[in-house]
């Protein structure tokens, strides 16, 4: 395996819900020996808090809506502030979120996957916020909000598109080969 050359690695693994981005991001973070930051996990944890903010997050997640941009940007900034290197998934989801807080990624890996596979994977996982209607609603929101962001990363020369329908091992091998490439 190639040695990782960069001393500061700020990597985003992104894709629609059910694309395997969290799995890939965790595997990469472990391989690179850097922290993993998963905004989905952070938001689900914050939603359990018995306070105003927790209730607002829980309500958004329950309706299949995205959590307020300012809230997500602030959580992300808190997580990133003390870290030189990390692998992240789940942020940013829009150009507006990126304007609120830009983690300045070195590389962005986008896992492309057909919608029917996303539905199958998410329904099999069985979370409360994974009904077919809510999944479709989140996918529509995702594509509306995220495609302009992907175009921005592409224009910066840091976007790598990957086939998210491949096996976990195949995807991870390709990501590792392209971290510095």
Is 4 within the bounds of a domain? no
Is 1 within the bounds of a domain? no
Structural domain that includes position 105: 10-178
CATH code, domain carrying 121: 3.40.50.300
Report H helices in the chain. 21-32, 39-47, 52-62, 69-80, 95-100, 115-125, 132-155, 168-178
Mean residue pLDDT across the chain: 90
Q: Do residues 8 and 84 touch, judged by C-beta distance below 8 A?
A: yes
Q: How many domains, in total, are found in the chain?
A: 1
pLDDT digits 0-9 by tens, 103-116:
999 999 999 999 89
Is 2 within the bounds of a domain? no
Instruction: Examine the pLDDT at 2 and tell me if it is beyond 50.
Output: no
């Amino acid at each position: 395996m190639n040695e990782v050359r960069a001393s500061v690695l700020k990597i985003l693994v992104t894709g629609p819900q059910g694309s395997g981005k969290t799995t890939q991001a965790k595997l990469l973070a472990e391989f690179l020996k850097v922290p993993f930051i998963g905004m989905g996990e952070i938001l689900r944890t914050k939603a359990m808090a018995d306070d105003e903010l927790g209730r607002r997050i829980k309500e958004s997640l329950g309706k299949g809506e995205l959590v307020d941009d300012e809230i997500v940007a602030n959580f992300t900034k808190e997580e990133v502030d003390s870290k030189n290197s990390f692998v992240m998934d789940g942020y940013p989801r829009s150009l507006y979120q990126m304007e609120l807080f830009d983690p300045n990624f070195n590389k962005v890996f986008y896992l492309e996957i057909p919608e029917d596979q996303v539905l199958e994977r998410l329904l099999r996982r069985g979370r409360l916020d994974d009904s077919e209607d809510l999944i479709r609603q989140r996918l529509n929101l995702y594509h509306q909000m995220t495609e302009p962001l992907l175009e921005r990363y592409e224009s910066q020369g840091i976007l790598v598109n990957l086939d998210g329908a491949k096996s976990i091992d195949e995807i991870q091998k390709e990501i590792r080969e392209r971290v510095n490439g």
